[in-house]
Structure 1
Amino acid sequence: MVLFFLMICSGFRITGQNSRDLQQQYQLQIKRSAEAIRIDGVLDEPAWQVADKADNFWMSFPVDDERAPKDIQTEVQFTYDDQYLYIGAICYGPDDYIIKSLKRDNLGFWEGDAFSILLDPVNERTNAFSFAVNPANVQSDALVNGQTMRRGTGNFSGINDAWDNKWFSAVQTATDRWTVELAIPFRILRYKSSQTTWGLNFARGEPRSNSWHTWSPVPVQFISMDLGYTGALVWDQPPPAVKSNISVIPYVSASSHNNVEEGEPTTTSFNAGVDAKVAVTSSLNLDLTVNPDFSQVEVDQQVTNLTTFDVLFPERRLFFLENSDLFSDFGIPPMRPFFSRRIGLDEDGNTIPIQYGLRLSGNLNKDLRIGLMNMQTKGINDQPGNNYTSLALHRQLFKRSVLRGYFHNRQGHANKSLLADDYNRTVGLEFNFVTQDGSTRAFGGYGLSFSDHVRSQDNSFYNVGAGYDNRTISVYSNLAGVGDNYYADLGFIPTQNHYDAVRDTTYHLGFNHLFSRASYTYYPENEGKIISHTWFLNHMRDWTTRASELIQNSVRGSYNISWRNTSMFLLEYNHQLNQLLYPFTFADEPLPAGKYRYNTIGASYFTDQRKLFSALFGISTGGFYNGKRQQYKLMLSYRKQPWGKFDLSFEQNNIRLPSNYGDVNLLLVGPRIEINFSNNLSWTTFLQYNTQDDNFNINSRFQWRYQPMSDIYLVYTDNYAVEYWGPKNRAVVLKMNYWLNI
């Protein structure tokens, strides 16, 4: 702890040394265009000839102390009129582009050629808009929040690419460059018209050299879209005020369902509903939904669960993903007071109809953000409906720090009235301190829960922690806990629930959670084949709050080597100590309560991700409670650029337990086919064969974007039992929506 404290203190000194204001050094002037701009990817209008230019980009990865090579440099210009913000960019480089998919916001977008704009209209380093395009004119947009995201950790929680809006782009390609032209409507941005300086940066992905470039320099340890390192967009006059901004998105759908497993007849239904987006002010937005339908959302990607607790599946429904950081970032994993999948879905992921909902989100002023959400679900059978309310306030302090609070309420609802004796409420306050350069952070929070069925004692939640990052060293530690009577009906805290396989009962227990992580990254000075070597050491410990009984303790060490050709090798060792507080079964007879200590070792290798064919190979072996486990992983991917992508994932876990506790082989196979007939027409089929859940799932979706942000979906879903290979249920859904700006 003394060493950790000294490193944190050194972070404050480093912050002081690096406090130069990049917005004074990197400024792009924007002037109004006197002529109309045609979005065709050709920068031939007079406004482009006189517009200020951002060029001479910096390397951001794999190094951050030199300019990008001249033959792959980038030039960017801005102009505007009363309705649109225009961006023109020239991305120099050879025309052997890498394009993973023609699908908007596709998962492989950032693994290929890409150019992105980061806009922070409020210029407070807490929230920004990202607009990105690749050489095939595939669009990707996202909301970015101000949390630091260290490169190489896989943590992109601060980027919400579920945010979708209507904007326009065009691309022209040549042998030594590709040129992109964008028109972003002012109506989709949130800003004050009096704000004449916006935060701005650009990021260019150049996969052939496995490099990232930015206009305003970003340290190599952070991803290129870090809000702490933006330059400035300086307006020649206040940007145009948005007079009207209302979007209405009605939908109609028809569906057929057949529940064979329950012996129910096939049913056909027709449905309709509407979403609306209303700009209350230029920086505050109201979203409304009536009878929403999420049938087009792709099914969850299944996992093999080798723990005794529930697994977190991510939110996929668009309404809950937009501005989700306002509500969902409170707490720390695995303790989240708010988890939106508690609304409109049961514990098995089945749909609970939502009757209506609203969400107010945005900035009340430059330092204060608000999120207010209310949703009403319909009662099913004998179960009452529920009304859900969430309120979150974020108050920015200093440069990147935030004081924030939340209130969540679930209230039973029946016969058009609230049920006074059926409720759960959580309330809390947190402070997150982040230095301006993002290197040092510290946080603390405290919360309470109130429920109709428990006493108001042992009902608290707390979390404290700190972290420090520089180019080579990353350290982080947190401590959190919940009491026995802390219930978060709108949250996700799986370690509270312990299943007794003998009594078929679940016990709700408070616990404390300690997690610490340290890593060291070495970057070879010569420009050879290797980019970096990284060593990780993680420690995690959970124990009950009342009796201080151990739940689990793990120490994990790993070594990672990354090559310039994007391939990677990972070696891991894990020492695990689990204590079953109650008997639990993995195969046949339940394992008795008690302590189980075991070790595992594993290795993984990722091939060159730029190739048309790529793969991941993984193997691990070692103990598993009082037995043994071997795991094999394989992921294959073939890309028929740019129209086709064919993936196969395979995971086999062979568990051998002594005597009558049983043996089990768990197989999870997931082929996936994606065909893009154009940028607006696609067909995706995802198969999942899961022996642990005794389920074979088929999910096939056809999507036609016939107008910007307006779609027709045809979705087929089928589920079969693996054990006896019989049908469970199937459904066909046809849905059409239309985006209308008023």
Structure 2
Amino acid sequence: MHKTLTICILNLLFSSYIFSQNEENTKKTLQTFKINRNISIDANLDEPEWQQAESATNFTMFDPDNGKPAPNELKSEIKVLYNNDAIYIGAILYDSEPHLIMKEITERDNFGVSDSFGVYLNGYNDGQQDFQFYVTAANGQADCNFTSQTGEDYSWNAIWESKAQITDYGWVVEMKIPYAALRFPKQNEQVWGINFFREVRRKRQKFTWSPVDNQIGAFSQQAGILKGIQNIKTPTRLFLIPYASSYVSKTQDETSTEFKGGLDIKYGINDAFTLDAILIPDFGQTKFDNVVLNLGPFEQQFNENRPFFTEGTDLFTKGNLVYSRRIGALPNLNITLEESEEIAEIPANINLVNALKISGRDKSGLGVGFLNAITERTTAAVKNTVTGNDRETVVAPLTNYNVTVLDQRFNQNSSVTLINTNVTRNGSFRDANVTGMLFDLNTKKNTYNLNGDVKMSSVYDIKNYNGYSTSLYFAETSGKIRYQVGGNYISKDYDNNDLGIIFQTNYASISGNVNYRILNPTKYFNTFRLNLNSYMEYNNTTGKIQSSNYNINFGGNNKSNHYIGANFDYNPFKNYDYYEPRQEGRYVIYPESYGGNVYLSSNYNNPLALDISPSFYTTYEKGRYNYGINISPRYRFSDKLSMIYSFNLSKQLNNVGYIDNDSTNIYFAKRNRSTYTNSLSSKFSINSNMNFNLLVRHYWSLAENQNIFTLNDDGTLAENLEYNTNKDSNFGTWNMDLSYSWWFAPGSQISVLYRNNASNFNREINNNFNSNFSSLLDDNLNHTFSVSVRYYIDYNQAKNWLKKT
């Protein structure tokens, strides 16, 4: 028994390093050859070299009817050529009904409602990382960096050329992908992994050249082989992106003007590794944050919208140790004030001085990531109300943020990772360090997975302390029925909040999941999946249940490609919440609960589509429940113009939560809370390189306290009739962005943005929507108008310009 178990574990951990020769021989292979000139990217394929090239044909359906051969009326013929500068892709995509080809025009990386063609390239042929390049029938571009561990990353952007045109027999795509956009080993004879992808949008059908078995969760390992690339001399990968920006900002009190200029640098250190650096960064045109009324014990987590911290960051996301919004974020202000002092001025943000990152992977599968950023010393102004004197106090010292990652891939589908994050602050301020070891192991046939981690944090402050976190999960990852079991343990003093984000510590959890899916269409569904989930979380100190949930959910696309889904949650135990009281060792007991929601989404192929999701959750305590609804209609007026409106209503009746504390008591309130969110997004595309976008959001949330309670030591609540401080909340925000973007040359962009925003918080409850909305805009509206120009300079092109000059 023990011997058999040992053999199984060794087979899981140390299955063969590469695919056997027999397996490689079963893969589809495409032969290419070298040409001695550049190809004109015009979607005509009229150069004689295209006629001589071998064709990749006989596509297979990936979704929904997995494994079914592509019909003859939708056949595809793909050819590949190369020279010393780039690889060229020519695709003839036949369609017996070309007038029905969908071709919505969108901005980059947005497919919209359009047919698309893609090529997936893996220069190391290791089955783990693809550089994916897509062209839509509307001549749009999308690209992403795909890894088997982290999936698709569309924030990655490369510079390449493409052209698409619709013909009387279908549509044609021509692509030029420079070697600077790819990674491959430095050797005379190249063997790359390759696959081709095609989506016929009106039929919601997806095809691949090399068949992909959806019983196995390993898309990239099922690619074909590209042979014939030999003796290429790759160019120097050096790109300079200078920019200039101007801002005019107007508030109720003043108007200000600001000019900025800077430089981004991208340099290929070698064939595997790239350096990215920003000098004098400018993030003034990033998307606004969706701020909410946060009554809970934890900070609100925001999405990262700054391009430097979103592009090509797959290595830095390992282990979820990096929350890049920490870099340049204003810390929680804890300013010590003397008698008769008040805060006169608080900085709006902390400026980033510079940042750089080095990332890449060598031919042995070793990935290396290094990120470093420095933020400037920042002060707030404090005024003495008696003497009138001002003084400065440091709210953030000069700070260095650092991330280092080593990620070794092997067996084409597994990896072991070491990651370290470090924050060093100048002077006697808090420093921190976190180190994690991660592993993600799959059997050779991608049928089982074992993954986990061990992380240790160290904080150096007035009191130094260490903590750790560990997890282990095992899963079956193939077939119609799949499952996962596992758990994690986090110690009380584990703290990665200086560069990461974590809300809860001092607990252990166990979880399980079983799911069923159809792999091919049935009589009623094109896709369908049913999930059963369970989760239990225990406090390490007391052993009490902190959180529990049993969940069943299902969803799928019917034969008309409308999505239908439902979700049901059941919490059969009292939960002991150690975080809501905001005081160590104290907890509040929350009752058992249950509820769920349904979700309907009509086919987006139709000009008018609708998403709707009502929800209802209740507790075992009478009169304490939540309900809400989200409604989002969308309308596509034409291939150029579309609009999406969304309305979200949330009602919480007799919600119980923390409101205040003093030296003797912790106060809770039973409150009614209503939240309304209206948002509108619209785009008008002149062509795939020139777009107007409108984004509007109005958020209003109010919480009215009905009864005040004192928290008892046993977690129960006792009504308090003496507390009389008003802790009601009425909060509203407004944001509007109207932007114009023109990609006037590859990698070069002009952006024009008009933005206005406002926010308002008070303790007076006013249930009138109109008066709240009017007061929000009347007194607080801020305006910003900005123009930004970025110009992409390829060193190789610039060198040729100089030669001609």
- Give TM-score scaled by structure 1 length: 0.87
Among 190, 199, 202, the alignment partner of 2:196 is 202
Q: 1:669 maps to which residue?
A: 678
Q: 2:506 maps to which residue?
A: 510
**Is residue 693 of structure 2 the alignment partner of residue 640 of structure 1?**
no
Q: Relative to structure 1, is the Cα distance of residues 119 and 176 closer, same or farther in structure 2, using a 3 angstrom cutoff?
A: same
Among 471, 480, 492, the alignment partner of 2:479 is 471
**What letter corresponds to residue 626 of structure 2 in structure 1?**
R
Conserved 8 A contact 1:583-1:592 = yes
Among 563, 566, 570, the alignment partner of 2:561 is 566
Report the secondary structure of 1:319's partner residue: helix
Q: 1:618, 1:681 → 2: CA distance? A: 34
Conserved 8 A contact 2:185-2:362 = no
**What letter corresponds to residue 108 of structure 2 in structure 1?**
R
CA drift of 1:731 comes to 2.3
Conserved 8 A contact 1:446-1:462 = yes
CA drift of 1:547 comes to 2.8
| CA offset digits 1:658-703 (Å, max 9, x no partner) | 7962212111111111111222211111111111352111122211
Report the secondary structure of 1:326's partner residue: coil
Q: 1:76 maps to which residue?
A: 78
Q: Relative to structure 1, is the Cα distance of residues 22 and 259 closer, same or farther in structure 2, using a 3 angstrom cutoff?
A: farther
Q: Relative to structure 1, is the Cα distance of residues 304 and 583 closer, same or farther in structure 2, using a 3 angstrom cutoff?
A: closer
Q: 2:758, 2:620 → 1: CA distance? A: 31
Q: 1:711, 1:101 → 2: CA distance? A: 18
Q: Which residues in structure 2 correspond to 1:371-382 (within 5 Å)? A: 371-381=369-379, 382=394
**What letter corresponds to residue 616 of structure 1 in structure 2?**
D
Report the secondary structure of 1:216's partner residue: coil
Among 359, 383, 402, the alignment partner of 1:389 is 402
**Is residue 740 of structure 2 the alignment partner of residue 702 of structure 1?**
yes
Q: Relative to structure 1, is the Cα distance of residues 325 and 267 closer, same or farther in structure 2, using a 3 angstrom cutoff?
A: same
Q: Which residues in structure 2 correspond to 1:423-438 (within 5 Å)? A: 423-438=431-446
Q: 1:244 maps to which residue?
A: 236
Conserved 8 A contact 1:193-1:241 = no
CA drift of 1:539 comes to 1.8
**Is residue 260 of structure 2 the alignment partner of residue 271 of structure 1?**
yes
Q: Relative to structure 1, is the Cα distance of residues 40 and 304 closer, same or farther in structure 2, using a 3 angstrom cutoff?
A: farther
Q: Relative to structure 1, is the Cα distance of residues 309 and 270 closer, same or farther in structure 2, using a 3 angstrom cutoff?
A: same
CA drift of 1:390 comes to 0.7
Q: 1:519, 1:557 → 2: CA distance? A: 10
| CA offset digits 1:49-99 (Å, max 9, x no partner) | 111111100111112222111111211100011112100001112222223
Among 502, 526, 544, the alignment partner of 1:531 is 526
Q: How many residues align?
A: 691
Among 93, 117, 131, the alignment partner of 1:115 is 117
Q: 1:303, 1:71 → 2: CA distance? A: 51
Conserved 8 A contact 1:624-1:655 = no
| CA offset digits 1:700-724 (Å, max 9, x no partner) | 2211212111111122222223643
**Is residue 460 of structure 2 the alignment partner of residue 452 of structure 1?**
yes
Q: 1:495 maps to which residue?
A: 503
| CA offset digits 1:176-225 (Å, max 9, x no partner) | 310000011112212123151001111111122211111111123568x9
More off after superposition, 701-710 vs 245-254: 701-710
Q: Which blocks of at least 5 consecutive residues in structure 1 are unaligned?
A: 148-156, 331-335, 414-418, 497-508, 586-590
Q: 1:385, 1:625 → 2: CA distance? A: 51
Q: 1:427, 1:12 → 2: CA distance? A: 26
Report the secondary structure of 2:479's partner residue: coil
**Is residue 800 of structure 2 the alignment partner of residue 741 of structure 1?**
no
Q: 2:279, 2:165 → 1: CA distance? A: 41
More off after superposition, 137-146 vs 200-209: 200-209
**Is residue 754 of structure 2 the alignment partner of residue 716 of structure 1?**
yes
Q: 2:413 maps to which residue?
A: 400
CA drift of 1:640 comes to 2.7
Conserved 8 A contact 2:304-2:324 = yes
Q: Relative to structure 1, is the Cα distance of residues 58 and 648 closer, same or farther in structure 2, using a 3 angstrom cutoff?
A: same
Conserved 8 A contact 1:31-1:80 = yes
Conserved 8 A contact 1:337-1:490 = no
Q: Relative to structure 1, is the Cα distance of residues 706 and 524 closer, same or farther in structure 2, using a 3 angstrom cutoff?
A: closer
Q: Which blocks of at least 5 consecutive residues in structure 2 are unaligned?
A: 333-346, 380-393, 657-668, 702-730, 761-771, 796-805
CA drift of 1:302 comes to 5.7
Conserved 8 A contact 1:105-1:140 = yes
Report the secondary structure of 2:592's partner residue: strand
RMSD (CA atoms)? 2.9
Conserved 8 A contact 1:218-1:226 = yes
**What letter corresponds to residue 477 of structure 2 in structure 1?**
D
Report the secondary structure of 2:221's partner residue: helix
Q: 1:46, 1:317 → 2: CA distance? A: 45
More off after superposition, 658-667 vs 123-132: 658-667
Q: 1:217 maps to which residue?
A: 211
Q: 2:68 maps to which residue?
A: 66
Q: 2:103 maps to which residue?
A: 99
**Is residue 249 of structure 2 the alignment partner of residue 257 of structure 1?**
yes
CA drift of 1:173 comes to 1.0
Conserved 8 A contact 2:155-2:312 = no
Q: Relative to structure 1, is the Cα distance of residues 596 and 564 closer, same or farther in structure 2, using a 3 angstrom cutoff?
A: same
Q: 1:614, 1:228 → 2: CA distance? A: 36
Among 106, 121, 136, the alignment partner of 1:134 is 136
- Which of structures 1 and 2 has the bigger CA Rg? 2
Q: 2:328, 2:793 → 1: CA distance? A: 26
Q: Relative to structure 1, is the Cα distance of residues 120 and 658 closer, same or farther in structure 2, using a 3 angstrom cutoff?
A: closer
Conserved 8 A contact 2:446-2:478 = no
Q: Relative to structure 1, is the Cα distance of residues 85 and 404 closer, same or farther in structure 2, using a 3 angstrom cutoff?
A: same
Q: Relative to structure 1, is the Cα distance of residues 220 and 208 closer, same or farther in structure 2, using a 3 angstrom cutoff?
A: farther
**What letter corresponds to residue 671 of structure 1 in structure 2?**
L
| CA offset digits 1:510-540 (Å, max 9, x no partner) | 23343322211235765x4521332111122
Q: Relative to structure 1, is the Cα distance of residues 645 and 379 closer, same or farther in structure 2, using a 3 angstrom cutoff?
A: farther
Q: 1:557, 1:452 → 2: CA distance? A: 44
| CA offset digits 1:432-466 (Å, max 9, x no partner) | 10234433211121111111127666511212112
Conserved 8 A contact 2:324-2:500 = no
Among 422, 431, 435, the alignment partner of 2:430 is 422
Q: 1:187 maps to which residue?
A: 180
**What letter corresponds to residue 493 of structure 2 in structure 1?**
N
Q: 1:119, 1:582 → 2: CA distance? A: 47
CA drift of 1:469 comes to 2.1
Report the secondary structure of 1:219's partner residue: coil
Among 570, 576, 581, the alignment partner of 2:578 is 581
**What letter corresponds to residue 631 of structure 2 in structure 1?**
L
CA drift of 1:100 comes to 4.0
**What letter corresponds to residue 409 of structure 2 in structure 1?**
Q
Q: Which residues in structure 2 correspond to 1:604-683 (within 5 Å)? A: 604-623=599-618, 626=621, 627-657=624-654, 661-683=670-692
Q: 2:268, 2:175 → 1: CA distance? A: 23
Q: Relative to structure 1, is the Cα distance of residues 303 and 104 closer, same or farther in structure 2, using a 3 angstrom cutoff?
A: farther
**What letter corresponds to residue 237 of structure 2 in structure 1?**
N
Q: Relative to structure 1, is the Cα distance of residues 22 and 300 closer, same or farther in structure 2, using a 3 angstrom cutoff?
A: farther
Report the secondary structure of 1:41's partner residue: coil
| CA offset digits 1:620-659 (Å, max 9, x no partner) | 1131685111111111111133211200111101111179
| CA offset digits 1:138-185 (Å, max 9, x no partner) | 0001111122xxxxxxxxx51111111211111121133100000111
Q: Relative to structure 1, is the Cα distance of residues 463 and 730 closer, same or farther in structure 2, using a 3 angstrom cutoff?
A: farther
Q: 1:182, 1:269 → 2: CA distance? A: 40
Q: Which residues in structure 2 correspond to 1:36-51 (within 5 Å)? A: 36-51=38-53
Q: 1:502 maps to which residue?
A: none
Q: 1:592, 1:544 → 2: CA distance? A: 11
